[in-house]
Amino acid sequence: MTVNKLILPGSLAGVPKKADRGWCWFVLALSVLMAGFLVGPRVPDDQQEVHCVVNVRVAGPWGVSLNCDSSYYMSLARDPSMLLAPRSVRQNRPGMVLAAATLAMPLSLLSDLAVLPRTLGVTVGRADMDPQRVNQALSHHFPQYAAYIALNVMLLLLSFHCFRRVCGRDGVGSDTATTMVVVSVGVLLVANDVTKAFVWSPHNQMLNIFVPVAAVAATLRSWSGGLLNRRFAAGAGLLSGFGYTAYQLFAIIPVCVIIAGLLHAGRPQCSDARSRAGINIALLLGLGVAPFALWYLFVRMATGEFYDHELSSGLGVWMINAWAHGGVAALLGGWAQHGAAMVKLAAWQAIPIGAVMAVLLMAAITQREIVCAALGPLVPVAMAGLFVSAVVVAFYASAGYTPARLAFAAIPPLIVVAGAIAVAVVQRLEAIHRRMLACGCAMIAALQVIYVIVKDGPYS
C-alpha cells in the first residue's frame, strides 16, 4: 500500500458496487445508535437547569433532553434577521444558522409538519422555564428543528466518508473482513458522548467530530503534494472559510494544510514547486478569510457594530493577561495547564482506540512480519493524526475553555489512525486471522454502542 493510495484517491470507478454495503451497514448502525439515544429523556427533571437542558417527552418510552440553546437556534433559523440584533450570541457564527434556514425552506411548505409535535404527544417540563417557550419552538419551528437534525446526521456521514477516503481503496474493499473493520471504526467515530448529548439537539457540536477528521484527510493530501494543486488549495480555503462562519475550529484546517504543504515543498526534490506553493497558500488564506470578512462588513454596515460572544466572554483573553504579567513563561505555562486539562479529559474517551490497538497487537504477535510490512506506508497517516490531534488541543487550550465535549475533538484523528492501521493489516492477514481481527473490531464497536446508550450522562 503506497502513501498515495491512502490519500484521497481521485477516482473510485474501479471499486465494485458491492463496496457500498459498508455504507449500508454504517447507516444501519447509526440509526440504531440514534434510536437508542431517543429512549428517555435521561436527565432527572430536578437536574435540568444544572445541565442546561430541557426535557422533551414523546408518547411511549421516547424523549430527549434538548440543550438549552436549542430553542434559540431554531428561532434564528426561522428568522435569520435576528442575527443582526444587538449582542446576538450567534452573530459571529451565522453559518450553521443560515444552513439550517436554507434547508428548512422546503420543509416549511409542508403545513402538516407544524402539528407533528402535538400529534406525537410531545410535552415539555422544566420548573424554572415556561414550558410554552419550548413547546412553541417545537410546534412553530419544527421544520427548523428537522433541518438541524438533518445537518447533524449529515456531518456524521461526512465524517465516515472522510475516514474511508483516508483509507483509500483498501477502505472501500468489497471483502467482508475489510468492510467489518471500516464500519466498526466508523461506528467508533459516532458512538461517543458528544453525539449522545447533541445529535438530537439543534447545535453545532457535531463539528467537533467532522472537522478533525476532515483535517486529517486534508493534511495527508497536502503532505503528498496537494498544496501544489490550485483546485485543492481553493477547496481547502472555501471549506475552512465557510466553515469558520459556523464554528471556529475550522481554523485548524488551513494551519494543518499549510504546515504539511510547506514540509512537502521543503524537500530537496521539490525546490521548483515552492513558488507555486506560495501562490496557493495565498489563495487558501484569501478564500479562508473572505466569507467571515464579508459577513463582518455586512453586519457593520447594517448595524454599525459587530458582537463576538466568545471574545466578550473572555475566551482567549487569558493569553493577553499571561503575556502582560509573566511574558513567555506565563504564556507557555498557561498553554501547558489548559493542554494538560484537555488531554486528561480526552484520555478516558480514547478507551475504544486502546481496545482496537490491543486487537492489532494480538495480530502482530502471531503475524509479526505481515503486520510490520503493513505499518510502513502508514507512517504519514499516523503522523497526520497525531499532528491534527495536537493542533486541536492547542486550539482549545488557546481559548482557555476545555470541557469534556471539546476535549473529545482530539480523539477522532486518533480513531482515524487506528482505523487506517486496522484496514491495512486486515488486508494482509490470512483468512482465519482476518476474521478474528474483523470480529474483534466489530465486538469493540458493538460494546461501545451499548455502553454509550445505556450509561448515565453526559447531558451537555
pLDDT at 397: 94
Nearest to 389 by CA among 406, 414, 357: 414
More confident residue, 286 or 125: 286
Measure the CA–CA gap between 371 and 359, rounded to whole angstroms. 12
Task: Classify 65 as helix, strand or coil.
Answer: strand
Place of cell 461526512: 158
Kindly state the DSSP code that residue 455 receives in the 8-state scheme. S
Lookup: cell for 126: 422544566
DSSP 88-100: -TTTT--HHHHHH
Q: Which three cell numbers stand for residue 422?
A: 486496522
3-state secondary structure of 390: helix
3-state secondary structure of 123: strand
User: Of 152-166, 283-297, 429-443, which gets the smallest average pLDDT?
Assistant: 429-443
Measured CA to CA, the distance from residue 379 to residue 56 in angstroms comes to: 47
Note the pLDDT of residue 6: 44
- pLDDT at 38 exceeding the cut of 50: yes
- Decide which of 373 and 408 is more confident: 408
Q: What is the mean pLDDT of residues 347-376?
A: 86
- 100 to 76, 154, 253: CA distances (angstroms): 9, 12, 23
User: What is this structure's pTM?
Assistant: 0.91
Query: Helix or strand or coil: residue 57?
Result: strand
Looking at every residue in the chain, the average pLDDT score rounds to 87
Length of the chain: 460
Tell me if 316 sits within 8 A of 334, measured CB to CB: no
β-sheet bridge partners, residue 124:
56
Tell me the C-alpha distance between 180 and 169, whole Å.
15
121 pLDDT tier (thresholds 50, 70, 90): low
Neighbours of 35 (CB within 10 A): 11
**Within 13 Å and on the Cβ side, how many CA atoms surround 404?**
15
> What is the percent of the chain with per-residue pLDDT over 70, rounded to a whole number?
86
Shortest CA distance to 422 belongs to which of 410, 413, 434, 430? 434
Question: What pLDDT digit, counting tens, does each position of 128-167 carry?
Answer: 555 555 555 676 788 899 999 999 999 999 999 999 999 8
Q: Percentages helix, strand, coil for the chain, rounded to the nearest 5? A: 75, 5, 20
- With bands split at pLDDT 50, 70 and 90, how would you rate the model's confidence at 124? low
pLDDT at 5: 43
The whole-angstrom separation of Cα 324 and Cα 47 is 40
Give residue-wise pLDDT tens across range 302-339.
Answer: 999 999 999 888 888 889 888 888 888 888 999 999 99
Instruction: Mention every residue, 6+ apart, whose C-beta is less than 8 A from residue 249.
Output: 207, 208, 211, 212, 392, 395, 409
Question: For 47-70, how does the pLDDT look when each residue is reduced to its tens digit (9 = 90+)?
Answer: 888 888 888 888 788 888 888 899
With bands split at pLDDT 50, 70 and 90, how would you rate the model's confidence at 7?
A: very low
| Residue 185 pLDDT | 97
- Identify whether the C-beta of residue 153 lies closer than 8 Å to the C-beta of residue 30: yes
pLDDT digits (tens, 9 = 90+) for 248-281: 999 999 999 999 999 887 765 666 667 788 899 9
Q: What mean pLDDT comes out for the span 162-189? A: 86
The pLDDT of residue 17: 52
pLDDT of residue 170: 52
β-pair partners for 70: none
